[in-house]
Chain A
Amino acid sequence: MATTALPSIPTADVGHGYTTTGLPHRKVAIWAFIGSECMLFASLISTYLIYKGRSVKGPFPHEPWTDPSTGHVFKPILNIPVTSCSTFVLLMSSLAMVLALAAVENRDKPKVTLGDRILGSSRLWLFMTALLGTTFLGFQAFEFTSFVHEGLSIRTNLFGSSFFTLTGFHGAHVTAGVIWLLTMLAIDFKRGLGPKDALNVDIMALYWHFVDVVWIAIFTLVYLIR
């Protein structure tokens, strides 16, 4: 590069794309936000693990429990097959999300085959992501209600409190993500998303994948490890 002094930038231009790193502000911010969320979920997960096995009464995640006062036998609470399905659903939503982003980025590329057209439809993939996210939430709602029926609520014991709070926080993140996706989908239907919207979709995607990644950790630490 030239060694002479480059001209200063008129401040009039700074609002228009100039950044020191060349990266958009919002993308830097979302990564900082994700870093911060790591600590949020770390606190929740630690609490769950610390309280695991400390409840003075059941029901428990992996072991059956007989209530000494009533003699009622509680099954192990966690339902691995169901949660495995919802985990799979959430993983697939991440796939849909990357495809949606790719579709938005490549909006202007010519689409020859039917395959191109399907893969290139941002509406389809945004919709799929939101749908899969909603399905995950449906699974969670099912899980929560069935736990309550089986005798575990957020007030029952330490396991209940920490379990519902941890998974509830995650569910709240998914819900926020679904709303975000639906908003984006609405914009797509209204005026179509193109490369200039790629940044917005990218940021949403980063958030969405992060929520997925958190679930990967939760699924192993909470459901599978006993």
Chain B
Amino acid sequence: MSTVAAPVDVLPLYRTMVLIRRFEEEAERQYKAARIGGYCHLSSGQEAATVGTVEAMHADDLLVTGYRCHGFALARGVPPEAVMAELFGRRDGCAHGRGGSMHLLDASRGYYGGWGIVGGQLPIATGMALSLARREERRAVLCELGDGAVNMGAWHESLNLAAVWRLPIVFLVVNNEYGMGTSVERASAEPDLFKRAGAYRMKGERVDGDDLEAVIEVAGRLLEEARGERRPAVLEALTYRFRGHSVADAGLAYRTREEIAEHREADPLERTKALLRDRGASAEEIEAAEAAAAEAVERATEFALADPAPALDRLAAGMYAPGSASQFERMVPGSPIGERELVYGGGLGE
């Protein structure tokens, strides 16, 4: 992936942005077709912030996010097949069908989830940065959170720990103006969220999250300071969520159609396409990128449709580490109905 210095090759990034948009449109269709369940949070409108920050990461940096994570997983290179299969709850999903939309991950790519409790991922990402620091590795953690998460106690404790211990971590606040139906102004006494970094003598910057190149530049700079000087930072990316909070929310109770339309005018996909043209990309190249993205989504859906469900006799798989089954052997007598078959016989500790 590019370092800060290198010139940005926009075309592949544009393709990834389109991939995310098309992927989530397909996910919504499949949700309506009842092939995807649970909560499903789309990020349409946030693609530049997503792709730009991940582009600024090194291959060995670590990524931790909240539950609105389809885009981050795809941008980090998790195969669309594995992501769609996870949304379908299938065996070959990136979490083997056990996590779903909110709990994507791919440890082989340094992506450690995909977390559903607002703010809960912050202390964990901070601990990962602590581990990198203990091993004196020149790597950093990028931890994504939403504008609503900055009011959780976990934000405060994590930022203070990261700063007092000088940990290599960048807290990426994706400010899409709302936490469910609550605007930033109604939730945060300091609505300029990046300024809250000051409470920890930490650097805080704000960027137009829909400006791909600007995002890459500032994210790259902050990540490099984290890697090189162990300087943690807050990066606030201003963007907008086109859709509702989740596919279950029409997203109109707390904002006007006009407001949404206005933001759609400035769709980051269009802005990036314009940038490509300025850079001399041909219509053919652009169409080819868009077609490639569309095909990738098609392949992902086909894969997910064909992928089998997780084995029913493995209900307890993964819960405990291999070898744990013997620790639980003596717990069986008098257990509640079903435990024998479902848990003790369900792959416990395998």
* Chain B associates with chain A: no
Q: Residues of B at under 8 Å CB distance from A?
A: none
Q: Residues of A at under 8 Å CB distance from B?
A: none
